[in-house]
Structure 1
Amino acid sequence: MAANTFVWYELVTRDVDAALAFYGRLLGWEARDFPGGADRYAIVHAKDKPVGGVMALPEGMSEPFWLGYVGTADIDAAVARFTAAGGTLHRGPWEIPDVGRLALVSDPQGVGLALFQGASDPPGEAFNQGAPGHGNWHELRTTDPDVAFAFYAGQFGWTRGDALEMGAMGTYQLFKAGEAAIGGIMKAPAGTRPTWQYVFGSPDIDEALARIREGGGMVLHGPSEVPGGAMVVQATDPQGAAFALVGPAGRREAA
């Protein structure tokens, strides 16, 4: 399992079956229930590669959300570093038999994340840049981008990549795990709360736009072109969980 990068994506939602139908049509995911356990956990696959899980909202929680897992070789040490630097431990670490150990945390700005130490060490494929249906990018929107970057650099060894100036929206700071840029950090827009946004690959953004709307989701922004020529769309699913897609625009007839 890859350490210090994203290895899993989890949707916590009101209606698991409805969510699986929406994302299945949008991203081509196939779902298989994880055996055992008191509560249902559906694992979604992109061309037979596991990408993430879908589960029901626990009692007392009302808003669906996506949660990212970052891999670690030593979860006890990772939790100790996280809390010593001002993060919060909410649960764990606890063991999932034959899977690994998991802890739920939040950074000093209150943004949630999971830390995960796998029981075995297969290559992580949930995050696979450029692959449709996989995690392609990770965007942190936070109250103080410089403070947030310093925190995560201390946790996972992430380094600065290019910095893109976005005018009134401020600086979009790319961050790298090893040699590869895996995401960006920016100031959260006014009136929004800090969050991680997970960006999944799509083979055809125009087709994806239509499927989001047909499936009852809402397009919040885009499509917008990003460096390299890909198009990005920000959206919410029918139950309100925010996500984004990146990929090429579909072919259009010449006017």
Structure 2
Amino acid sequence: MANDFVWFELVTTDTKAAGDFYKAVVGWSSEMSSGPAGPYTIFKAGEIPVGGMLEMQGVPPGWLGYVGVDDVDAYAKKVEAAGGVVHKPPQDIPDVGRFAVVADPQGAMFIVFKGSLSEAPPRPAPMSPGSLGWSELHAADWEKAFAFYASLFGWVKYDAMPMGEMGVYQTFGGPDGAFGGMFSNHQPAPGPYWLYYFGVEGVDSAIERVKTQGGEVLMGPIEVPGGAFAVNAKDPQGGLFAFLGPRG
């Protein structure tokens, strides 16, 4: 799965509260581990690890996506050469892999990562509850952003969907198909960012869980191609996320 998203990480100010929220809303289980920055929570869909969480004060809560690459140091240099920024230079996580925290030229942050395992770990079935369903870039200028990511990762364009006054929603992915979309969001707060969609069994019940658990529904449910419905939301600490699935 090189050059695709392979892991997701929530940086938040309150891991206990955020963990309870996401387990209730998305249906994950969790287990404790440790990382370079201290205690580390691993979220699991069934028995399959899908993401992590760490506590950090003084930074806005949010999700970061890890893109799998074959050489983290080389990709960090490519990001800088293409006008992006390296926020945290390449470093090792013992027995896990090597990573660097970077941002595209418009400021959207992501992580380049190479795992220490010889083969990629299993992933949940696409669109199954708790899986990653879609990765969406809210760009200042999606066409310039696409050029950056295409040159970096070899991503290609798939369907382009007109959104009226909001312009075009461009889907993208690797040779096996689309796994994300991007558009020019003229009000991306606090700046361009990646938004990640998680699969749920039913969006209507998930919306109720967001509300009862102290989160906020920002948009949706909106029907998307393929018959699923998507919802954009905010967790109680302020982290933006989204989910999709059938109604009910």
Could you say which TM-score interval applies, normalised by the shorter chain? Answer: over 0.9
State the TM-score, normalizing by the size of structure 1: 0.93
Which residue number corresponds to residue 135 of structure 1?
Answer: 132
Q: Against the structure 1 CA distance between its residues 60 and 191, is the aligned structure 2 distance closer, same or farther, given a 3 Å change threshold?
A: closer
Query: Against the structure 1 CA distance between its residues 191 and 161, is the aligned structure 2 distance closer, same or farther, given a 3 Å change threshold?
Result: closer
Q: Distance in 1 between matches of 2:188 and 2:139?
A: 12
Q: For residue 38 of structure 2, give the secondary structure of its aligned residue in structure 1.
A: coil
Question: Taking every aligned residue pair, what percent have the same amino acid on both sides?
Answer: 46
Paired amino acid for 2:48? K
Check conservation: 1:94, 1:101, Cα contact below 8 A.
yes
Cα distance in 1, alignment partners of residues 129 and 194 from structure 2: 20
Equivalent-residue separation in structure 1 for 2:29 and 2:149 (angstroms): 33
Q: CA deviation at 1:189?
A: 3.4
| RMSD (Å), alpha carbons | 1.4
Aligned to 2:147: 150
Partner of 1:238: 236
Q: Which amino acid aligns with 2:30?
A: A
- Deviation per CA, 1:45-99: give whole Å up to 9, x if none: 1101001111101x432x2111100000111111111111111111120001110
User: 1:139-161: CA deviations, max 9, x gaps?
Assistant: 00111111000000011100000
Structure 1 stretches of 5 or more lacking a match?
251-255
Question: Which secondary structure does the structure 1 equivalent of 2:129 belong to?
Answer: coil
Judging changes above 3 Å, is the alpha-carbon distance between structure 1 residues 144 and 125 closer, same or farther for their aligned structure 2 residues? Answer: farther
CA displacement at 1:18 relative to structure 2: 0.7
- Identify if the C-alpha distance between structure 1 residues 87 and 125 changes in structure 2 by more than 3 Å, giving closer, same or farther: farther
- Identify the residue that residue 33 of structure 2 maps to in structure 1: 34
Cross-structure match for 1:247: 245
Residues 127 and 9 (structure 1), Cα distance of their counterparts in 2 relative to 1, 3 Å cut:
farther
Matched, 1:3 2:5: no
Contact 2:43 2:50 in 1 (8 A): yes
Point out the more displaced range, 22-31 or 164-173.
22-31
Aligned residue identity for 2:232: Q
Describe the superposition over 1:165-218 as per-residue Cα deviations: whole angstroms up to 9, x where unpaired. Answer: 000111000001112100001011336321100000011111101100010000
Shift of the 90–171 alpha-carbon distance from structure 1 to 2, 3 Å rule, reads same
Corresponding residue for 1:165? Answer: 162
For the residue of structure 2 that corresponds to 1:44, the secondary structure is strand
Question: Could you list the per-position Cα deviations for residues 120-154 of structure 1 after superposition, in whole angstroms to 9, with x for gaps in the alignment?
Answer: 13334457521210111000011111100000001
Query: Kindly tell me: are residues 172 and 191 of structure 1, through their superposed partners in 2, closer, same or farther at Cα, counting changes over 3 Å?
Result: closer
Count, aligned residues: 247
Runs of 4+ off more than 2 Å:
35-38, 121-129, 189-193
Aligned with residue 203 of structure 1, among 201, 204, 223: 201
